[in-house]
Amino acid sequence: MKARKPVCPYCNEPFDPSPFHPNQKVCLSPECQRRRRKDYHRQKITTDSEYRQVCADSRKKWRESNPDYQSRYRGRNEDYCQRNRQKQRVRNQKRRLSLIVKNNLAIDLKRLPAEVWMTGPGLDGIVKNNLAISQVLIFQTDGDSMEAI
């Protein structure tokens, strides 16, 4: 009785393994082989520090031999530049807010009847990351309470 053909985990199609690789898990289609190599690379780079270093050195060498690639890429891809600037603005804002929080550690916020109001675009993502999209302004009132707006 003939054994069942293995099924490729990427395209879900049965395939004939190579006689030289009887334990082959992925079919030979270029797309499935590309995905297999990509998954291997991703897994290996997280578990093998030497492999990770070799990959980093390789990228560094490539950048050094193609020094104007990045500026040409930016010139061709305005959308990429816009998204990148927006993400950098969010990172800068997050860093500024974390500095404000650190500088206010001396205040015992638990004793203050504070309210926080958030405003800004993208409030639907607030559950994931409210520091990235909001600004916090802290005002001290003339009474003995403090409001955070």
Query: Which of 6, 11, 45, 146 touches Zn ion (CB under 5 A)?
Result: 11
Q: Are 44 and 34 in contact (CB under 8 A)?
A: no
Tell me the window of 26-34, 59-67, 96-104, 114-122 that interacts with Zn ion (CB under 5 A): 26-34
Identify which of 74, 93, 94 has the alpha carbon closest to the alpha carbon of residue 82: 74
Task: Assess 146 for contact with Zn ion (CB under 5 A).
Answer: no
Task: Assess 36 for contact with Zn ion (CB under 5 A).
Answer: no
Task: Assess 17 for contact with Zn ion (CB under 5 A).
Answer: no
Task: Assess 33 for contact with Zn ion (CB under 5 A).
Answer: no
Task: Assess 6 for contact with Zn ion (CB under 5 A).
Answer: no
Tell me the window of 31-39, 56-64, 81-89, 113-121 that interacts with Zn ion (CB under 5 A): 31-39
Q: Which is nearer to Zn ion, 27 or 133 (CB)?
A: 27
**132-139 long-range contacts, CB within 8 A, separation 24+:** 132/90, 132/93, 132/94, 133/90, 135/93, 135/97, 136/97, 136/100, 138/100, 138/104
- d(CA 53, CA 59) in angstroms, rounded, equals 10
The CB-side HSE value for 108 (13 A sphere, CA atoms) comes to 2
Count of CB atoms situated within 10 Å of the CB of 27: 22
Task: Assess 24 for contact with Zn ion (CB under 5 A).
Answer: no
Q: Which is nearer to Zn ion, 25 or 83 (CB)?
A: 25
Task: Assess 32 for contact with Zn ion (CB under 5 A).
Answer: yes
Interacting residues with Zn ion (CB under 5 A): 8, 10-11, 27, 29, 32
